[in-house]
Structure 1
Amino acid sequence: MEIIVPINRNMGFVVDKVSEDSFYENLLLGLSKVLEKSPCISNISLKRFPGVRQIDIRAWEHNNSVILPEDLRAFYSSTNGFLYTYDFSYDYNSTENADTLIREGSIKINGLNEIERIYGYETKNVAQIEQYGKNYMLVLSRESKVFELAAVDNYAKVVLVYINTYCIPSIWLYSSPMSFNYLAEDLTTYFRMCLAHLGIPCWQYIVSREGLPEWAREIFQLIAPGVLNEDRNLVEIPKHNPDDINKIDPNIFVIPTSSMATDRNSTLQMTQQKGKEKKSKFPQKRFVSGKGVKK
C-alpha cells in the first residue's frame, strides 16, 4: 500500500508517495526497537488497516450528530484503527508456555465503525469541565455524548467525550465506578502518551483513583525504569517556573542567639553611658527653704 501526502518542494506543494512501512515506522517513533531490547518482550505484532473514505467519515458524523476533530479525521483517513501488541513474561526462557503468565501490552484505537456511543453515566442540567489544580472534574448533561475509543480491560475504557454537540471533544478514562479521569485534549496527545508509556498494559490507570495495579508497576520498573515519576510530564515540554530561581533564604534574617545577647548588652551599655553624659551637662538642683537656708 502507498500513502499519498503533500510535501513542500521548492516553495511549491506536490504530491509524494510514502510506503506503508515508512508510515507506520514514523507513527511508532521507533517503539519496536526499544521493546526488542528487553528479553521479557516477545511476539511484537502490528495489524495494518486501510484508510477510511471521506464519504464514510461524513456518514458516521451524520449518524451520530457530531463532528470529528481534525486529527481524528486525518488518522482515520490513513488507517481505520490501530492495533499494536506484544507479550510480556518474566519466564522468557521457559519452554512451558502453559505455565507462563503472559501480559499483553498494546496500543489500540478502535476502527471508525467500532466507535460506539456508551451510556450509564450520571447527568446533570449543565455540562462542564471543572479544574481543581491538576485535577479535572467532568459534569455531563443529556446533550453530552461519550464514544468508546478503546478498551483498557474489563472495567475501564478510553472514551471520546463531547460535553455538548458543538464542542471540541477530549479524551478521558471511563472506569468501573462510572467516574471519568482526564487523559488528553486530543488523539495526537493521547497517542504520544501511549508511546511514552510503551503500551504497557493498564498504564491509563495512572490518572485514576484506583491507581496503577502493582503488577503493572513491576513491568514499568523492569522495562521502563524512571517513567513512573508522577511529577514528570512525558508529553508536554516542561514550562519555566519562576519560583525555581531568585529565592531568598529566610535564614539570613535570623540572628544567632549569642549575637542577640551581645547586641543587647552593647545596647544597654550605650544607653547607660548616654544617661551619664546627659546628667553631667546639667548641674544638680539645690533647694532653698523659706528661711533662705541652703540645704
Structure 2
Amino acid sequence: MKFLCLVSAAVIIVCACNVRFMRGMEELKDEKTHKVFIERLTLGVTRVLESLPGVIDVRFAEREPAEKRCLLSWEQKNVCILPEDLRDFYLTTDGFTLTWNSKLENEYVSVGCMVINSIVKLRHLGQSTVFSLPNTPTIADLDSDGETEDTENGREKPHFDSRSRIFELDPCAGNGKVCLVYNNCTEGEVAQQCDVWFLDRSLYWHYLTPSFTAYYRLMITHLGLPEWQYSFTPYGPSPQAKVTSQSCACHSFL
C-alpha cells in the first residue's frame, strides 16, 4: 500500500514537472517567435544599431495591431482608401517608434528617431496649422497656383486646398512633416492613389517615394538620423544635424 502511494506521488511529481517543462518550452518558443517578429518588423535595424560602437539605448516601442474597424472608420471619415501596404502595416502594429542615443565623449546624446504615426494620429493636415507656432497661418492661406510641378521628378506638387488630401505620417520632431498625399482629388469622390512627400520648414514640398513600403525602407536605411529627410531637398540637413550625424559611428554605415 505504501509502495502504491509512493508510486502515485512520484507520478504526480513527474506530471507536474512535465507541465512546468512544457510551459517553459512554450514561453521560450513564444519569446523566440516574438524576437523574430520584431526583427522582421524593424528589418533588422535594431541589431545593426546595437552592433555599432557608440550607439546606446536602442529602444523600440511595441504596439498592438490596429483594429480593422478603426481603419474603416478612418477611410470613411477622410474619403480615402488606405494603400494596401499601409493597411497591412497598421494591422501588424498601430504605429512605429524606434529611438537610439549615442555616447559622444562623456555625454549621452539623443540622436536617432524613427516614427510612423498611429492610425488615430494620421490626421488631415488641413485640420490645424501646419506647425504649432504662435500666429502661424492656416493651410488655406498658404496655397498658391505657382510652381505646381516638382521640377526634379515632374510630379504635381500637393495643394493645400481640395485638390489634395494630405495626412501626417511623421512629425519629424518639428523639423518638417512626412505626409501621405492623395493628389488630383475630386470633392465627394473616394481617393485611392497616393504617394509620400516631405514638407520642409519653409513649407516647400519634396517628393520622397511612390509608396509607403518604399518610404519605410528609406526611413530604416537612414537610421532615423536628425533631419535625414532633408537629404532629398536641394539644401540638405542643417549644419548642426550634419555635425551630429558625422559624430556618430553610424554615419559610415549609410
TM (normalized to structure 1)?
0.62
Q: Choose the corresponding residue for 1:82, options 96, 99, 104.
A: 96
> Aligned in 2, Cα 1:45/1:135: closer, same or farther, shift over 3 Å?
farther
1:41 and 2:61 matched: no
Q: Which residue of 2 aligns with 1:118?
A: 125
Aligned amino acid, residue 20 of structure 1: H
1:109 and 2:116 matched: yes
RMSD: 2.6
Q: Which has the greater radius of gyration? A: 1
Give structure 1 stretches of 5+ with no counterpart: 1-16, 95-99, 228-295
Which string of whole-angstrom CA distances, capped at 9 and with x for unpartnered residues, describes residues 252-282 of structure 1? xxxxxxxxxxxxxxxxxxxxxxxxxxxxxxx
CA deviation after TM superposition for structure 1 residue 135, in Å: 6.5
Alpha-carbon separation, structure 1, partners of 2:99 and 2:70: 27
SS of equivalent residue, structure 2 residue 86 = helix
Q: Choose the corresponding residue for 1:190, options 215, 224, 230.
A: 215
Aligned amino acid, residue 180 of structure 1: W
Would you say the 8 A contact 2:83–2:192 is kept in 1?
Answer: no
Q: Which residue of 2 aligns with 1:54?
A: 68
Q: Choose the corresponding residue for 2:191, options 166, 169, 176.
A: 166
CA deviation after TM superposition for structure 1 residue 226, in Å: 6.7
Would you say the 8 A contact 1:136–1:181 is kept in 2?
Answer: no
SS of equivalent residue, structure 1 residue 143 = coil
Alpha-carbon separation, structure 2, partners of 1:186 and 1:200: 21
Aligned amino acid, residue 252 of structure 2: P
- 1:98-247 correspondence runs (5 A): 100=107, 102-119=109-126, 120=139, 122-123=142-143, 130-134=149-153, 136=155, 138-140=157-159, 141-163=161-183, 164=185, 165-221=190-246, 222-225=249-252, 227=254
Alpha-carbon separation, structure 2, partners of 1:198 and 1:155: 16
Give structure 2 stretches of 5+ with no counterpart: 1-29, 127-138
Which string of whole-angstrom CA distances, capped at 9 and with x for unpartnered residues, describes residues 197-239 of structure 1? 1221211111124411223334444322273xxxxxxxxxxxx
The structure that is helix-richer by fraction is 2
Alpha-carbon separation, structure 2, partners of 1:102 and 1:86: 9
TM (normalized to structure 2)?
0.71
Alpha-carbon separation, structure 2, partners of 1:64 and 1:37: 42
Aligned amino acid, residue 38 of structure 2: Y
> Aligned in 2, Cα 1:210/1:101: closer, same or farther, shift over 3 Å?
farther
> Aligned in 2, Cα 1:180/1:77: closer, same or farther, shift over 3 Å?
same
CA deviation after TM superposition for structure 1 residue 188, in Å: 0.5
CA deviation after TM superposition for structure 1 residue 191, in Å: 0.9
Aligned amino acid, residue 104 of structure 1: V
Would you say the 8 A contact 1:183–1:207 is kept in 2?
Answer: yes
Q: Which residue of 2 aligns with 1:263?
A: none
User: Which ranges of 4 or more aligned residues in structure 1 deviate by more than 4 Å?
Assistant: 133-137
CA deviation after TM superposition for structure 1 residue 184, in Å: 1.1
SS of equivalent residue, structure 1 residue 224 = helix
What percentage of aligned pairs have identical amino acids?
27
1:68 and 2:68 matched: no
SS of equivalent residue, structure 2 residue 85 = helix
